[in-house]
Chain A
């Protein structure tokens, strides 16, 4: 029996194709994720709602640079929201964001920017009034890949989309599961995140610490070996 967080996505699992080559979470990499509404039931199926592309590289001063593009589809006639972000993070266990720039715009069905919807938002962690440790929803997608599967729980504030504060977060190792993904039986390891302003998020990783699935509430990111998120 699948864990609950995967059961809701069971109609998607066959479509995930995870590379067999080794993965180094500490190196440079690019991951594409498709964004889903996990909704499998007797009468409904999960829905594809967008994509996320993350490129990670190391900076000369020992930090991490993440470049992200997230496309959020709106209803059919209303195009999509496009977010591009560049964030410099510490190479620590939360990929703590240091400074960033987030550019947002709504794109119509013809690919044009909708007037009055473009905005760029720079930020720096040292300008925030946050007690305790800091991470972001995007940098966590990097950080969990570098955590030992038996790591100790970490408490922090999450800066969602590098703007919205979600306090009192706790990230802990979770269960493992044997799951057939893309026609291959795989052992997945998990971390669970619980906190204010979110429904519990479960991160599922393969043996090489590659993040395959992140699912919380009505949003799931599924590893996409194609070009998801690429414009």
Chain B
């Protein structure tokens, strides 16, 4: 049996025990990073809830391939989408700029011309750049920065994720250029849950598959939760809830089905990881795995995204260093953002980051170097909404709306108690609002700060 197979099987084997390892152990001993430019493999799924990974302790699904990433890399558990909707979140990844700066304020807005994307950036800095899968950035053809294997597949992940992952598989088996590559892989699942929802919106029957009754996941603690919300947010959530009249059991059936969608994409991820492990690039490729936004997953009787509660805005983020060094770590301490993807890739590639980017390179955290990390991240939502997240608190504010939300995320991770009107927290609200205003003051919108 070849060493290559042994290594892959070792990875699969360790993934089974990643929960325990992640508490403090390391799967691989540290090794020196390659001195040459690494290949960059950026894999993203769509609408994956931050808890939808079995290696993080979720017993309602099995994701052996995401668990492989956990075993190889560092997972940031306080990772936030820069804007929890498809187009803005992706525009923030690929420009490193906030949605209000890059123009992608919501789905089907347009990316500002003249603001480089990562494909264009790396293409002119010694990399060959390739794209396969979902792009979804109106106003910018990915062909301008990437050689496209296949792109903008039909809106159905169940239909096309297999083609996308297989194209990445073929690429990793075929690439033979001397230059390092940057391959971005956009998988669509579990986004198909949106169509599951619409096709069941008016469903009034019982459980269609009684055999799964004993396997249905429980409802979340905040299933019935209702807290004071800014009007734009409240109005939007009312639209998401619609007139759906699902029973509690049917909500549990939704969660069960959602997890099957996640398992679908996990297998596609496995195909790509297998190809990488079997290729000549196994030891000199950086992997960044993250998600554009989460899913309501029955929290507050919500589905989909477009809001600032953790279920929609908090996302998986796993980074695996070239050579598998420093794996099996959970970083529960540092708040990170989708805006950090661009500076992180640039840092490892040894190229300067695009101008005025808002994120920070995760490299110091990944390499365990002492670092004064940021105190907060800011995400945007629904054009006029902002979420500021520190390791302890979450502040949500909408422009011209007097209703503020403040959650103590350590004491109240399910965000069931809005503390903004609690006199004991008035100072915290004022302090966080001041920081938010400072952050907004640094933005460059339409060329003006």
Cβ of A8: which chain B residues have Cβ within 8 Å of it? 199
Query: If the complex has contacts A166-B267, A196-B263, are A106 and B162 also in contact, measured as CB distance less than 8 A?
Result: no
Query: If the complex has contacts A41-B199, A219-B158, are A78 and B171 also in contact, measured as CB distance less than 8 A?
Result: no
Contact partner of B257 (CB less than 8 A), chosen from A119, A196, A199, is: A199
Query: If the complex has contacts A106-B167, A119-B173, A217-B192, are A197 and B156 also in contact, measured as CB distance less than 8 A?
Result: no
Contact partner of A197 (CB less than 8 A), chosen from B152, B163, B196, B260, is: B260
Q: Which of A49, A50, A74, A104 has the most CB of B within 10 A?
A: A74
> How far is the CB of B296 from the nearest CB of chain A, in Å?
19
Report if B322 contacts A (CB, 8 A).
Answer: no
Cβ of B266: which chain A residues have Cβ within 8 Å of it? 197
Contact, CB under 8 Å: B149 / A198: no
Report if B205 contacts A (CB, 8 A).
Answer: yes
Report if B58 contacts A (CB, 8 A).
Answer: no
Q: Which of B127-182 contact A (CB under 8 A)?
A: 130, 148-154, 156, 158-160, 162-163, 166-167, 169-171, 173-175
Contact, CB under 8 Å: A37 / B150: no
Please, which residue of chain B has its CB at the minimum distance from the CB of A105? B170
Contact partner of B150 (CB less than 8 A), chosen from A50, A81, A164, is: A81
Q: Which of A181-231 contact B (CB under 8 A)?
A: 192, 194, 196-200, 217-219
Give chain A's interface residue range (CB within 8 Å of chain B).
35 or more
> Which one, A14-22, A92-100, A110-118, is touching chain B?
A110-118
Contact, CB under 8 Å: B212 / A78: no
Cβ of A160: which chain B residues have Cβ within 8 Å of it? 162, 267
Contact, CB under 8 Å: A219 / B170: no
Q: How far is the CA of A172 from the CA of B263 in the complex (A)?
A: 22
A interface residues with partner B (beta carbon < 8 Å): 4, 8, 35, 37, 39, 41, 44, 47, 49-50, 72-75, 77-81, 83, 104-106, 114, 116-119, 160-161, 163-167, 170, 172, 192, 194, 196-200, 217-219
Instruction: Identify 9 residue pairs between A and B in the complex whose beta-carbon atoms are under 8 Å apart, listed by A's number.
Output: A39-B195, A81-B162, A81-B166, A116-B171, A119-B174, A172-B211, A194-B212, A199-B261, A200-B208
B interface residues with partner A (beta carbon < 8 Å): 61-62, 130, 148-154, 156, 158-160, 162-163, 166-167, 169-171, 173-175, 192, 195-196, 198-199, 203, 205, 208-209, 211-212, 257, 260-261, 263-264, 266-268, 270-271
Top-10 shortest CB links A-B: A81-B163, A119-B170, A197-B263, A164-B267, A218-B158, A116-B174, A75-B152, A74-B153, A117-B170, A218-B156
